[in-house]
Amino acid sequence: MVFSKSHLALLLSSPGALALFPHCSNGPLKNEVICDSSAAPLARAKSLVALYTLAEKIDATGNTSPGVPRLGIPPYEWWNEGLHGLAGPFANFSQEGEYSYSTSFPQPITMGAAFDDDLIKAVATVISTEARAFNNANRSGLDLWTPNINPFKDPRWGRGQETPGEDPFHLSSYVHALIQGLQGDSSDPYKRVVATCKHYAGYDMENWNGNFRYQFDAQISQQDLVEYYLPSFQSCARDSNVGAFMCSYNSVNGVPTCADPYLLQTILREHWGWTNEEQWVTSDCDAVQNVFLPHEWSSTREQAVADSLIAGTDLDCGSYMSLHLPGAIAQGLVNESVLDQALVRQYSSLVRLGWFDAPEDQPYRQLDFSDVATNASQQLAYRAAAEGIVLLKNDGLLPLALDSSLSLGLFGEWANASSELLGNYYGVPTYLHSPLWAAEQLNVTVNYARGMGSSTDPSTNFNWPALWPAAAASDVIVFISGITNDVEAEEKDRVSLSWTGPQMDMIGQLAGLGKPMVVVQMGGGQLDSSPIANNPNISALLWGGYPGQDGGAAIIDVITGKVAPAGRLPVTQYPSSYVQEVAMTDMALRPSSRSPGRTYKWYNGSAVYEFGSGLHYTNFSASVTTQLQASYAISDLLQTCKQSNETYLDRCTFTASPLQVNITNTGTTTSDYVTLAYLAGTFGPAPYPKKSLVAYQRLFAIAGGATDTAALKLTLGSLARVDETGNKVIYPGDYSLLIDNQPLTSINFTLTGEEVTVDEWPQPDGNRTKKGVTGFEGYFVPGYGSEQVALQ
């Protein structure tokens, strides 16, 4: 991450400002309701806020909450990151010894490729455990501003690596598992940590063609909003009881999300029932300021903070609210009671985290460094990487037969990768195992040459003298390269989907040697690998994303067959021409004159590799053993649903019990298998999506000749389509259930009768035109930092 001067100053001064606890047993609050652990969190928080002066309340609106010394309330830092392990900006790692590292998992894009929700829950449980241990040592907070659960809609997006991929069903299921692991069971007396679903909503562009995330107005139809941009957030709020949300930098349909009562109130709190007063919304960092400028939504700075607070932004990452709330309140733009509500939400959340309660009564307060980076969590980081690696091409070379006479050539910028393995938002990993390190653990000869120069210094782009003797001495060539955060990052979208000229040149020259050759493509965004797919001299192609601290070992173990690959691409690999065919700013999913369409559901061109692609070292067959009827009356489905206890119709199951799908390993190599179930067909209005993922399950270690069974839950929501107003409707028509990409098996059925709406979508009302000033003196400089705005 890049830090502004003000954030760096905070970072440097932060260790002393981190998580101390209020002294309820003997402090000034000991007889107040806030310190009564038998009282309800809401009542406790209200009692505390009632003791605050207006100035103290205003001070508590920013991410670095200074506390109230006269009441024994210590400072609290709300901004904590934990995307794939504990991370900055305020996490305090020691120079050495205890608390100098934690477990660093693969980036979500790699973990998404595992299609294994149990893995995700286990990873999130380790992250929350380690966050608690660090918190107990006063080194990190109790809430984490993770996950980034915006769908990876455009392959250029610099932060797509932070997400599990492009499919809304996949994201929804993944985030449900993740939140369980981060927060623990909602019936537990204390939350493990509070998770924050971000960036709500429509955020998936950093800096493209003169459009910056801070000022971008995403124009999104109600249909695309409900069908694509919001399901993961609905899963967070309605189905997973997440503790916090973060509104995004961009506007949606004219309104900055942090000042949009339609998104923050009508949809989030009312439609999704996210009504618990322990749940709060933070702004993205400096996004409240952006409501004023560059969005020009509000007419004054005071109005911008009032608009944000009233809309439902309870916390300001930054200091804009604390600067301008005094004026806003004095001008009568916002009532103090709205501020009270925001603070009550914050403090109820801290109550549920046990901040005010005696440590002896709380299991999470007993965790310490012995619970960090345990053997089990290191193995889990390795497993997460191994499960996420995807085999895209294999002519039979892999798995590589190993014997001590083998001379293995390892080349490319990623062959000896270190922090590149981590992507972004990382802390200090326990270790970094590169592919080179892992190859050197084998009983073979390893010839390594990076072969490429610095990506920022073209004069060093070739290092052929070192490469040729190493390649000549090798029996097998493994080229590991791709992209890094040099080209895909926060504030940086890609401009090209191609391998660079020097990379392609080197791949071509190495392939020209005619030796057995494997290419491993790294990085979060896909590169158009058609030249590799089409080159008969290249036997195999793998994708590894950002595989984390043990990523090199996982890659080498897949190549050598210690691990059988079973990951699936969580995104579409488009041809490089895609970037000329659609603007990043075009939010529409369906094809049009401006776009060939987005994601595997709507893209009307030929993908290089489709979403869900992934080969194995064996073959599988599938059969659905649950008897499906040839036809279902929609009225019967609805009747059964209404008789169940389910609050939301779209969550009702389609069949009484999950669909049983038998998966048989018809080859000899023991392997995991990801069962992907799609729906396709002609139901509802045209155009029809090609297919939609409706269920998935990873099965483990199926031996050759053996069969395992996936149990797939289909809901009425998965059968429904979204109409132009955003309603979810079940339509009569012809349906096909497909198992896997090249279907191993499929079943057809029809739905009959009248269409039925299973989720009625509220429409925005009110005035959605900006009221802000234009042409203000020095409002926006690309980059971070509110100090760049001249404050009056």
Ligand X SMILES: O=[N+]([O-])c1ccc(O[C@@H]2O[C@@H](CO)[C@H](O)[C@H]2O)cc1
Q: Which residues are catalytic?
A: 284
Q: How far is the CB of 200 from ligand X (least distance, A)?
A: 11
Which is nearer to ligand X, 7 or 494 (by Cβ)? 7
Binding track over 177-216 against ligand X, x by CB under 6 A:
---------------------xx-----------------
List 143, 260, 284, 413, residue binding ligand X (CB under 6 A): 284
Cβ 88 to ligand X shortest distance, Å: 9
Provide the minimum distance between the beta carbon of 490 and ligand X in the complex, in angstroms, as a whole number: 6
Nearer to ligand X, 2 or 706 (CB): 2
Residue 551 phi, psi dihedral angles, 5° rounding: -65, -35
**DSSP code for 269:** I
Q: Which of 285, 306, 497, 739 binds ligand X (CB under 6 A)?
A: 285
Strands (E), 128-178: 143-144
Distances in whole angstroms, Cα of residue 734 to Cα of each of 405, 555, 650, 681, 712: 58, 43, 19, 6, 20
CA–CA distance, 265 with 767 (Å, rounded to integer): 15
Q: Is 382 in the site for ligand X (CB under 6 A)?
A: no
Q: Which of 21, 76, 99, 145 binds ligand X (CB under 6 A)?
A: 145
For position 4 contacting ligand X by CB under 6 A, the verdict is: yes
* HEC secondary structure over 294-329: CCCCCCCHHHHHHHHHHHCCCEECCCHHHHHHHHHH
Closest CB to ligand X among residues 214, 574 = 214
CA torsion sign for 58, 64, 70, 72 is positive
Nearer residue to ligand X within complex by CB, 9 or 50: 9
- For the stretch 584-588, contacts whose Cβ atoms lie closer than 8 Å and that sit 24 or more positions apart, written own/partner, are 584/154, 584/156, 584/157, 584/205, 584/208, 584/209, 584/211, 584/493, 585/205, 585/208, 585/209, 585/211, 585/216, 585/218, 587/153, 587/202, 587/218, 587/219, 587/220, 587/224, 587/229, 588/221, 588/224
CA-to-CA distance for 58 and 343, rounded, in angstroms?
A: 9
Exposed/middle/buried for 742, CB within 10 Å: 0-12, 13-18, 19+? exposed
User: What one-character DSSP code corresponds to residue 13?
Assistant: T
| CA diameter of the chain | 81
Task: Extract the runs of DSSP E, i.e. beta strands, from 331-387.
Answer: none
| Given 101, 272, 297, 784, the residue binding ligand X (CB under 6 A) | 784
At closest approach, how far in Å is the CB of 291 from ligand X? Answer: 15
Closest CA to 628 of 742, 709, 736, 719: 736
Angle formed at CA 177 by CA 368 and CA 389, multiple of 5 degrees: 90
Closest CA to 716 of 760, 658, 650, 655: 650
- How near is the Cβ of 81 to ligand X at its closest, in Å? 6
Name the minimum Å distance from CB 249 to ligand X. 7
If the CB atoms of residues 285 and 714 are measured against ligand X, the closer one turns out to be: 285
Tell me which residue of 302, 197, 205 sits closest to 251, measured CA to CA: 205
**Min CB(2)–ligand X separation in Å:** 6
* C-beta neighbour count of 776 within 10 angstroms: 14
Distance, in Å, from the CA atom of 139 to the CA atom of 713, rounded to the nearest integer, reads 41
Torsion of CA 383, 384, 385, 391, to 10 degrees: 90
Interface region with ligand X, contact rule CB under 6 A, candidates 2-10, 35-43, 343-351, 639-647:
2-10
Nearest Cα to Cα of residue 267 among 219, 200, 322: 200
Task: Tell me how far CA of residue 228 lies from CA of 88, 587, 759, in angstroms.
Answer: 30, 10, 15
Instruction: Give least dist CB 405 to ligand X, A.
Output: 50
Residue 3 as a binder of ligand X (CB under 6 A): the answer is yes
Cβ distance to ligand X smaller for residue 293 or 624: 293
Q: Residue 707 pairs with which residues in a beta bridge?
A: 664
- Is the CB of 81 or the CB of 610 nearer to ligand X? 81
462 binds ligand X, rule: CB under 6 A: no
Alpha carbon distance 527, 576 (integer Å): 8
- Site size toward ligand X, by CB under 6 A: 14
Nearest distance, CB of residue 105 and ligand X, angstroms: 17
Interaction between residue 688 and ligand X (CB under 6 A)? no
317 vs 553 by CB, closer to ligand X: 317
Name the residue nearer to ligand X (CB basis): 425 or 611.
425
Binding to ligand X by CB under 6 A, coded x per residue (else -) over 7-46, reads: x---------------------------------------
For 731, other C-beta atoms within 10 Å of its C-beta total 20
Q: How far is the CB of 343 from ligand X (least distance, A)?
A: 21
Q: Which is nearer to ligand X, 145 or 274 (CB)?
A: 145
3-state helix, strand, coil in the chain (%, to 5): 30, 20, 50
Name the residue nearer to ligand X (CB basis): 424 or 539. 424
In angstroms, give the least distance from the CB of 36 to ligand X: 33
Which residues does residue 251 pair with via DSSP β-bridges, in sequence order?
Answer: 217, 256
> CA angle at residue 285 from 282 to 290, to 5 degrees?
100
Paired residues of 217 in beta bridges? 251
Q: Rounded to an integer, what distance in angstroms lies between the CA atom of residue 165 and that of residue 601? A: 13
When the beta carbons of 299 and 585 are compared against ligand X, the nearer one is 585
The secondary element (H helix, E strand) that includes residue 557 is: helix 551-559
Q: How far is the CB of 320 from ligand X (least distance, A)?
A: 13
Angle CA 525–528–534, to nearest 5: 145
Q: What is the DSSP letter of 609?
A: B
Q: According to CB under 6 A, which residues from 483 to 502 bind ligand X?
A: 490
Binding piece for ligand X, criterion CB under 6 A, among 1-9, 391-399, 455-463, 564-572: 1-9
What are the DSSP calls for 424-481, one per residue? SS---BS----HHHHHHTSSSEEEEE--B--TT-GGGSB-HHHHHHHHHT-SEEEEEE
Selected range binding ligand X among 3-11, 435-443, 472-480, 542-550, rule: CB under 6 A: 3-11
CA pair distance 497, 494, nearest whole angstrom: 7
Residue number, 32 or 314, with CB nearest to ligand X: 314
Query: What is the nearest approach in angstroms of ligand X to the Cβ of residue 313?
Result: 14
Contacting residues toward ligand X, per CB under 6 A: 1-4, 7, 81, 145, 198-199, 284-285, 490, 784-785
